[in-house]
Amino acid sequence: MKRRKICIVDYGVGNHSSVAQMINKLGHSSRITKDPIEIKSSDLLILPGVGAFPLAMNNIIQDGTDKILLDEAKKGKKIIGICLGMQLLADQSYEFKKTNGLGMIPGVVRPMSFIDWHIGWNRVDFNGQKTKLKLQDDNSVYFNHSYVFETSPDHILAESVVYGRTFTSAVKKDNICGLQFHPEKSQYIGMKIFQHLIEELNNA
Amino acid sequence: MLKKRFVAVVTIKNSHAVQSFGYNKYLPLGKPDVIVKNLDRWGVDEIILQCIDRTSSNLGPDFEVLNKISKIGISTPIIYGGGIRNAVDAAKVVSKGADRILLDALLYSPKNEIEIIADKLGVQAIMANIPIRQDGEDYLALNYQTKIESQFNKFISNIPLHWISEVLITDWCNEGKKESFNIKLLEISDLIEKPLIFFGGISSILTINKILNNFKTVGFGIGNFLNYHENAVQKLKLNISNQVIRPQYFHNKEY
């Protein structure tokens, strides 16, 4: 396995240290930063996030981090968004109010219409045509969200079901990928998923 | 299917983990980070850190404990409660490694503080802890700071439930006492429109299954009893017949 230099983009929202610890445990190097030089020199970027969409986007724009991220994405930099970080990849969100996102993966973030919150461990089923990731029977990961990423089937990497309703739990477009669940809080299975995605994105 | 959760509750007093008995007697256990590391290794579904002396001393959240836990790299979701005074504290708690926060004293303060926290962190990040006991046909909620009890119905009508995602119902009289959870407390489910996690005196499979069969239950919490055996979480999970819970697993370092 090649050791990758991974930047966790710090936009002032969320629990970055858990993501950093997961990356380090997997044998890669991690840096929590918003320094453009660090971001540009990394192999892969992580957009983490716990919190509300408008505040996160506001922070990203105020720092000018949005422009750097969009530039890097265009150049082919691998980017993984986690939870709120995945939602920031969309065109827009309706959390509290209509707010533009980074627009890296076509889609809109809307409230889950069938449940107030989706909190806890639930199955994630990856699309076998889009990833070689194979999970065992117990493929539960940890979710904690109340909004979902609505996108076209072309960009759906994984789906989950809650109370009989299917929603998108992972998205992917070229070099950009998003996970609605928290791999860094999903114990063994989360580490396995994350490690696989890093390798798959880098080998694509 | 969304699984119900086995939640480990770690009570912390003076930055040390303690065994707690009925909210009035405490025995030392050790370093919180060591206990949390074990719980993480044993595959518990969530961990609540409950710092019980921070609010009364106006010390704010115990960031030192959170820092230590954060440094060891825990891959289990952490819920932190204790000393959170406002949205600044709440956001800092999350930045220091918690995924969600547990509020109790703040439930009694001006209502918009919780709304401000929700604006910042999202409602899904906010839980409330309500210690209760049965009094005849009634249920009484305890204000842990003032020790004043009020009727549960009246209490919940005065708190901003709209900004809270889940409620921890603590059987505080029986907390820490083996197999003593008052199963009648499940009736609380009819009085509150929120997903519930029950905690306090839960130690047997029979009781756990009864709690899990309750339709509003999303989890159960165990504290003291996880400290008496190695792999306590896996052993309990192995014996829970209810399929709604995530199965036990034993730590594997190969990813």
Q: Taking CA atoms, what residue in A is nearest to B67?
A: A17
pLDDT band for B237, please (50, 70, 90 cuts).
very high
Q: Taking CA atoms, what residue in B is nearest to A48?
A: B95
Query: Contacts for A73-76 with beta carbons within 8 Å, 24 or more apart?
Result: A73/A104, A73/A175, A73/A176, A76/A174, A76/A175
Q: Give kind and range of the element (H or E) at residue A189.
A: helix A187-203
Q: B244 lies in a domain? A: no
* B125 inside 8 A of chain A by CB: yes
CATH number at residue B108: 3.20.20.70
Q: B252 lies in a domain? A: no
Q: B255 lies in a domain? A: no
Contact yes or no for B46/B10 (Cβ under 8 A): no
Residue B223 tokens, joined: 């504290």
* A119 inside 8 A of chain B by CB: yes
pLDDT band for B219, please (50, 70, 90 cuts).
very high
CATH of A5-203 among 3.30.1490.20, 3.30.1450.10, 3.40.50.880, 3.40.50.360: 3.40.50.880
| Residue B111: per-residue pLDDT | 64
The domain ranges of chain A are 5-203
Give residue-wise pLDDT tens across range A96-138.
899 999 999 999 999 998 888 999 999 999 988 888 887 766 6
Q: B248 lies in a domain? A: no
List active site positions of A: 83, 182, 184
Residues 20-39 of A with CB under 8 A from B: 21-22, 24-26
pLDDT band for B254, please (50, 70, 90 cuts).
low
Contact yes or no for A149/A143 (Cβ under 8 A): no
Q: Please answer yes or no on whether B75 and A191 come within 8 Å at the CB atom.
A: yes
With 90 as the cut, is the pLDDT of residue B5 above it? yes
The count of structural domains within chain B is 1
Mean pLDDT of B8-28: 94
**Which residue, among A148, A145, A141, has the nearest Cα to A121 in the 3D structure?**
A141
Q: B24 lies in a domain? A: yes
Q: B249 lies in a domain? A: no
| Domain coverage including residue B207 | 5-239
